[in-house]
Amino acid sequence: MTLYGPFVQAANDGRTGWLADEHLTIPERLRRTLERLDARKDYTYSIWRGADPTRIDGYHEQANEFFMQAAGSADAMTVEARLLGADGESHLYTIGRPETADGTTTLIPMSDDRAVRVFSNEIFTADEAAEIFYTFYLTEAVSPPYVLRELDLALELSEER
């Protein structure tokens, strides 16, 4: 039985496929992919568990509702994840460092015409984000020292670039 997954990767240009360790380990592949984000042509990247890793096309459906996504550039990106909350329901979170935000915010591009505003402790480099993504790849969780800020999906979460 061939194993293609278990995780799927997707970019903003529509490229979607299995996240594989051919020629690079998974941590190296994650880092290299996140390093390519430039906030202009390549500005988003996401991973999730595919429904059927025994099939080459088994990535077309998600195994569950959890995912991790990044937006921005290699020097300044935001990382979000849909995770299981303490209430047993899934929630969308922005990931941050444990230090208190200094009150400043930054707009991070998430499409050709939209950007998301994040606090200073929620901005990562590609190397930092790759570590967060690899932990999610291994555990489908975000581990300490990182903190989660739940996003209110009833509010408009992006603004014009």
For residue 41, count other CB atoms closer than 10 A to its CB. Answer: 10
CA atoms of 67 and 53, how far apart (whole Å): 16
Q: What is the pLDDT of residues 81-116, one digit of tens each?
A: 999 999 999 999 999 999 877 888 999 988 889 999
What predicted TM-score, i.e. pTM, was given to this entire model? 0.92
Mean pLDDT of 25-33: 97
Q: Which residue's structure tokens are 């990562």?
A: 124
CA atoms of 104 and 141, how far apart (whole Å): 27
Q: What is the DSSP letter of 73?
A: B
Q: What is the pLDDT of residues 31-48, one digit of tens each?
A: 999 999 999 999 999 999
